[in-house]
Chain A
Amino acid sequence: MESSLFISGKLLSITTFVYFLAMFFYIIYVISRNNIMGLLGTSATLAGFFIETGGLVLRWVESHQMGIGRPPLTNLYESLVFFAWCTAGIYLIFEYYYKNRFMGAFVMPFVSLAMAFASFSPNVSQEIQPLVPALQSNWLIYHVITCFFAYAAFAIAAGVSIMYLIRFRKEEKKEPLGAIISLFPSTPTLDDINYKAIAIGFPMLTLGIITGAAWANYAWGSYWSWDPKETWSLITWFVYAAFLHARFTRGWRGTRAAWLSIIGFIAVIITYLGVNLFLSGLHSYAS
């Protein structure tokens, strides 16, 4: 049963389109500095977020109608959609709080690409499938939500870190910042947002790892078995722990912290996609 037969599938396709639109508005805004473009970017993101919320809820309802009711968080497609949802949501909060739309051009590409990958990749099935016995657990919901909340926060941190590095390079060389970069938040502010996002993401990732361990213990009798996905989540956790401690060490702030944040996000992507697509283990969504 292709999900495009369902309304939820339609809504989620529209979401993909709207997020791409938002990304382009933000990019045009960064280039043109036309405030209307920025406003359009925010509006599109907000609209996409609401349509996506509807799509996710409907998908849940539709799975009940099919007689296999289960939360829309259980396969690669749904997790990508959920990642996009979290990132867009958290981004909107940061935009509101820091009153700066430039981050949109650096964060929305992650969101749009996640949706595009979910929608168009032949490796990603959109079907609403029933849950295999191992996945029938409430821990699944807690585990997925906390992990993806964390991933979303890390995506924002990585976007901001890229901005930091661009602006810092220029400032260091005492080059003129140019029209675009001068509108980025200042480097201390970017550093601050980076830290704040990771300060949200790190406890969430920790909770995600703990709920995952609790679930594994419940389903398989072992809270930790060094399966590739578990190990990569731990690697990710080490990198962000290093980030948090780097702040207390002179010579590790600023640029190196920004790099750690970007490396951390690469580890997130490997944890999330790489392990499923290339390594085997308990977590591969495929099968």
Chain B
Amino acid sequence: MSKKRFEVFDFLASIKLAVILLIVLAISSIFGTVIPQNESFERYVQLYGEFQARVIATFELYDMYHSWWFIFLLALFTLNLIVCSVKRLPPVLNQIKNPNKILDESLEKSLTLVDTLKKKGDPDYWKNAVREYLKKKYGSLYEEKRDDKTYYYIEKGKYSRLGVYITHLSIVIIFIGGIIGAIWGFRGFVQIPEGEAVNHVFIRGKSQPYKLDFILRCDDFSLSYYPMGMVKEYRSDVSIIENGQVVKKDHLIVNKPLTYKGLTFYQSSYGVIDRVGKLVAFTKSPNNAKTYELTLSDKFVNIPGTGDYVKIIDFYPNLDNVGPAIILQLAEAGKMPVNFPVYKNLPDRDMYPEGGYLFKYIDYHETHYTGLQVTKDPGVWVVWIGCILMMVGLYVSFFVNRKRIWARIYFDNERTNITIAGHAPRSRLFEEEFAKVLEDLKEMKA
């Protein structure tokens, strides 16, 4: 029974399981990038056929990253990580606290960078020389005399082995942050017409709106453009109102959200509520010269005294590189409606020569609503702390090199025996450094 339990424990603690899980996670994650997510069952039937759609439904591939089996894999992965780290950390901590400072025979055998020099002369002289040399090169060192032998020990970057554990811990912390967000956070949206205010937002998948404990007013929404007509900025000027008082005025643009009382508002969309265009229409027929001053919107307006109707369909800030243009739809009595642009900067350009009127652009104005995304995520700070820890952990495990140097000195057979050993598993440069130490010591004379 207890043997079985150990087997399970060892399996859960094994790196082999970690490698397998990482590969399984990598492969399974592909599905969700190929199969469109969050579509209806009918859509999957359309895309892939009846049977495949059933498979998709059974394995929750329509929302794969939140499916039971993917969550299970992540949970198993986390368990693997925790069990493995908990099992290995205590011995590592113990080694950091009590490193093997004495270069005895068994240690010497386990190391590859070892060499022994035999020097003539007084052992005390050599002890001193080696100690001073190492001190000068590496700073402090540990010294111990045992029997008739003297041992030195130097360790640099001894905490580098903790990097892995910091990294592993950070993954658990990031997961915790994600879970906090999933439980206590939400994502919503709200649309506010210019000049109006709201005290609630809508949460996706819920019919009840979420009530804010303040009022959010959209004072203005504006678009600005690059010279060539592409949108440069979407901007909402907003006020936050509490107890009838404006407590905060700010603006939102994409990449500059607004956070208030744990809620963050993001500029995410906009729409046109109203278009008001002032135009002048001249009749083209020479025996019926008339001028009409028109105020148009996106609903048909009758041209007075005629059977003709006209409305605004769209507006471009920079059409065909000649500046603003209104797109009109003109429905003359007995003819099919026709769409054509009216340019602000080309007043004589007639884009509908067959039509009965020439239009001139006077003024145009739109009112908008702004579309804001709203989120609350109390876990996000936990995630960032996890991310910072992860970078610290990765830095420590990859860029802080642990290196150790041992020396053993004793007098034997008329000679002073100096054995030097070194170990730095991560650093190729250390081999050269060690060779240099040996060479320096070889060259020393009593």
Residues of A participating in the B interface, judged by any CB pair closer than 8 Å? 67-68, 129-130, 132-134, 136-137, 139, 192, 199-200, 202-203, 206-207, 210, 213-214, 217-224, 226, 228, 231-232, 234-235, 238-239, 241-242, 245-246, 248-249, 252, 267, 275, 279
The 0/1 profile, CB within 8 Å of A marked 1, for residues 2-40 of chain B is 000000000000011011001101100110111001000
A47 to chain B, nearest CB (A): 29
- A200 vs B26: C-alpha distance when bound (angstroms): 21
A261 to chain B, nearest CB (A): 14
Contact status of A133 and B32, CB under 8 A, knowing A210-B390, A213-B387: no
Interface centre among B26, B29, B37, B428, by most chain A C-beta atoms within 10 angstroms, is B26
Are B226's CB and A130's CB within 8 A?
Answer: yes
Contact status of A220 and B373, CB under 8 A, knowing A235-B29, A242-B22: yes
For the complex of A and B, the 6 pairs showing the least CB-CB separation, nearest first, are: A238-B26, A133-B254, A242-B22, A221-B375, A203-B394, A228-B33
Any A CB within 8 A of the CB of B283: no
- A248 vs B384: C-alpha distance when bound (angstroms): 29
Are B26's CB and A210's CB within 8 A?
Answer: no
Residues of A within 8 A of B32 (CB): 226, 231
Residues of B within 8 A of A206 (CB): 390-391, 394
Name 25 A/B residue pairs within 8 A (Cβ), A-sorted: A130-B226, A133-B267, A139-B255, A202-B398, A210-B390, A213-B383, A218-B255, A219-B254, A220-B268, A221-B266, A221-B373, A221-B374, A221-B375, A223-B380, A228-B33, A232-B33, A239-B26, A241-B22, A242-B19, A242-B22, A245-B18, A245-B19, A246-B19, A248-B15, A249-B16
Contact status of A134 and B23, CB under 8 A, knowing A206-B391, A221-B264, A231-B33: no
B64 to chain A, nearest CB (A): 8
One of A129, A133, A217 near B253 (C-beta < 8 A): A133
A218 to chain B, nearest CB (A): 6
One of A136, A245, A248 near B255 (C-beta < 8 A): A136
Query: Chain A interface: which of B51-59, B231-239, B309-317?
Result: B231-239
Any A CB within 8 A of the CB of B446: no
**Chain B residue total in the interface (Cβ 8 A):** 47
One of A134, A192, A235, A279 near B26 (C-beta < 8 A): A235
Residues of A within 8 A of B373 (CB): 220-221
- A231 vs B26: C-alpha distance when bound (angstroms): 9
Residues of A within 8 A of B79 (CB): none
A219 to chain B, nearest CB (A): 5
One of B15, B29, B253, B266 near A220 (C-beta < 8 A): B266
- Chain B residue nearest to A227 (CB atoms) is B33
Are B391's CB and A203's CB within 8 A?
Answer: yes
Are B254's CB and A134's CB within 8 A?
Answer: yes
Residues of B participating in the A interface, judged by any CB pair closer than 8 Å? 15-16, 18-19, 22-23, 25-26, 29-30, 32-34, 37, 65, 178, 187, 226-228, 230-234, 253-255, 257, 264, 266-268, 373-375, 377, 380, 383-384, 387, 390-391, 394-395, 398, 428
- Chain B residue nearest to A281 (CB atoms) is B33
One of B19, B34, B65, B264 near A226 (C-beta < 8 A): B65
A174 to chain B, nearest CB (A): 26
**Chain A interface mostly helix, strand, loop or mixed?**
helix
Residues of B within 8 A of A241 (CB): 22
- Chain B residue nearest to A239 (CB atoms) is B26
- A129 vs B15: C-alpha distance when bound (angstroms): 48
Are B29's CB and A133's CB within 8 A?
Answer: no
Are A245's CB and B383's CB within 8 A?
Answer: no
Are A137's CB and B26's CB within 8 A?
Answer: no
Are B391's CB and A207's CB within 8 A?
Answer: yes
- A242 vs B80: C-alpha distance when bound (angstroms): 14
- A275 vs B383: C-alpha distance when bound (angstroms): 26
- Chain B residue nearest to A256 (CB atoms) is B19
- Chain A residue nearest to B426 (CB atoms) is A199
Are A210's CB and B387's CB within 8 A?
Answer: yes
- A219 vs B266: C-alpha distance when bound (angstroms): 7
Are A68's CB and B226's CB within 8 A?
Answer: yes
B62 to chain A, nearest CB (A): 13
Are B387's CB and A249's CB within 8 A?
Answer: no
Are A249's CB and B15's CB within 8 A?
Answer: yes
A73 to chain B, nearest CB (A): 16
Residues of A within 8 A of B254 (CB): 133-134, 136, 219
Residues of B within 8 A of A139 (CB): 255
Interface centre among A129, A206, A238, by most chain B C-beta atoms within 10 angstroms, is A238
Residues of B within 8 A of A279 (CB): 33-34
